[in-house]
Structure 1
Amino acid sequence: MSARSRNNVVVTGALDGPTVLLAHGFGCDQHMWRLIVPALAERFRVVLFDHVGAGRSDASAWTAERYASLDAYAQDVVEICTEMDLRDVILVGHSVSAMIAVLAANHSPDRFAKLVLLTPSPRYIDDGDYRGGFSAADIAELLDSLDANYLGWSNTMAPVIMGNPERPELGQELTESFCRTDPKIAQVFARATFLSDNRADLPKVSVETLVIETAQDAIAPRGVGRYVHENISGSSLLTLDATGHCPQLSAPEATAAAIIGFAGTR
């Protein structure tokens, strides 16, 4: 099976322009980028895809054994780039896909020109002086709740992740996205996400990198973005005047402008 078919790859925009590859986060699919794609498409070739098990990807390609770690998702990203012969790619990774992007770029740095890490977290669990935002007990409770009642967990957690309680339609959209995900797949991906520790991978990044955080984020709180920035040599840190973990939905104009401003520089 081709990577393009497996991952439901869609290409749009300025086909002769630089390539921007958009990697969505947990419980989402490529539809979550729709508000920023038009702005990007004016000057970039925009490549969208669904992680295996999400959206319109080929679910038959998913196994719990393969996708128990973020490495498999990073391998898929590299396979897409290799099969399509994409070079000098600007890879944008949201949430857990920020670390997937780090792993992909470390594996094949020759394929990528720049990384944009949108609301990243290399580790969600606090560890000594490192503050990821959650205790080990918090994450254990989160995963137990997800296992026991995935739909109920989705209805509770999605609005927290999205933030912006004054705009409930945003939380509802994320809830619906979560609920479209097969609970078995969500359980495995959640463990790969919330139990991962990619702090040691950050100093290995050799690609020019922009770290984007928001002013208020319940999942990747302020300080986590700075940690990522300080551990990737030569990276830049931008704090959007926005709320929530998904600024491509809650603040699409500012998010698109940040990506374009960084991707368009040489």
Structure 2
Amino acid sequence: MDVRIRNNIAITGRDGGPVVMLAHGFGCDQNLWRLTVPALEEHFRVVLFDHVGSGRSDLSAWDPERYSTLDGYARDVIEMCQELRLGPVAFVGHSVSAMIGVLAAVREPRLFDKLVLLAPSPSYIDDGDYHGGFSEQDIDELLESLESNYLGWSATMAPVIMGNPDRPELGEELTNSFCRTDPDMARVFARATFLSDNRADLAKVTVPTLIAESARDTIAPREVGAFVHAQIPGSRLVTLDSTGHCPQLSAPEETNRAIIPFLRES
């Protein structure tokens, strides 16, 4: 299958410029980057795509076995880079796509020259000294609620994830994005997202990495950003003056100020 169709790929920006690939998180699509893209287009060739099962991806490509783990999504990223001959790319992954980028860069480091991990979490579940933000019971209840009433779960959780109660339009946008996703596919992606544990993969990253966290994020608290920074050799950590788990939408200028200088470094 043509990856352009499978992943609804759109390429914009500066011809011949360095390539930046933007990867969205769970329940979203490439539209969530729209406020950051104009500034990126001034300097880079920007590759946008939808994960299979999200946005306008080709739903006929959906395979519940392939996409039951983050490895399936990482394989897709590698295939896109290879088939489009993008050369080494700077991969910007939001939320779960941060770990998808980590997995892809560990498997095929020659395809990536930089990683930007935006609001990452290698594991959402608390474990000993590791504070992921949720207990195992929390995650079990979250998944049970999602699986029993996906639309109701979306309406409840999207504003919490967005985390800007004074700007309800942001929560509404994320709710609508969640609700556009096929519930059966969303359930599989949710389990792959919230039950994954990629802590051991972080130390294997060999490409320059920037971790960008929100100052206030209930989904990926700052302890998680500090952990990711400590585990990835030579990484940098920046804390955005933003609230919520989607700073590219709630604080796009702040997000661009953090990531563009890193992406432009030679």
TM-score interval (norm. to shorter): over 0.9
Q: State the secondary structure of the residue aligned to 1:164.
A: coil
Structure-1 separation of matches of 2:264 and 2:24: 21
2:104 is aligned with 1:90: no
Q: CA deviation at 1:258?
A: 1.4
Percent of aligned pairs with the same amino acid = 70
1:127 maps to what in 2? 127
1:49 maps to what in 2? 49
1:229 maps to what in 2? 229
Structure-2 separation of matches of 1:21 and 1:247: 17
Deviations 1:86-116, CA, capped at 9 Å, x for gaps: 1120000000000000001011100100000
Question: Which letter maps to 1:212?
Answer: A
Q: State the secondary structure of the residue aligned to 2:222.
A: coil
CA RMSD of aligned residues (A): 0.5
Q: CA deviation at 1:16?
A: 1.1
1:143 maps to what in 2? 143
Deviations 1:50-83, CA, capped at 9 Å, x for gaps: 0000011000100211100000000000000000
Q: State the secondary structure of the residue aligned to 1:126.
A: coil
Structure-2 separation of matches of 1:260 and 1:179: 31
Query: Counterparts of 1:1-266 in structure 2 under 5 Å?
Result: 1-266=1-266
Unaligned runs of 5+ in 1: none
Q: TM-score, normalised by structure 1?
A: 0.99
Q: State the secondary structure of the residue aligned to 1:238.
A: strand
Q: CA deviation at 1:171?
A: 0.3
Structure-1 separation of matches of 2:15 and 2:50: 20
Deviations 1:24-71, CA, capped at 9 Å, x for gaps: 000000000000000000010000000000011000100211100000
Q: CA deviation at 1:259?
A: 1.5
Q: CA deviation at 1:257?
A: 1.7
Aligned length: 266
Question: Which letter maps to 2:7?
Answer: N
Bigger drift between 227-236 and 253-262 goes to 253-262
Q: CA deviation at 1:209?
A: 0.0
Q: State the secondary structure of the residue aligned to 2:238.
A: strand
Structure-1 separation of matches of 2:67 and 2:88: 27
Q: State the secondary structure of the residue aligned to 1:212.
A: strand
Structure-1 separation of matches of 2:258 and 2:11: 21
Question: Which letter maps to 1:192?
Answer: A
Structure-2 separation of matches of 1:88 and 1:121: 24
Bigger drift between 40-49 and 250-259 goes to 250-259
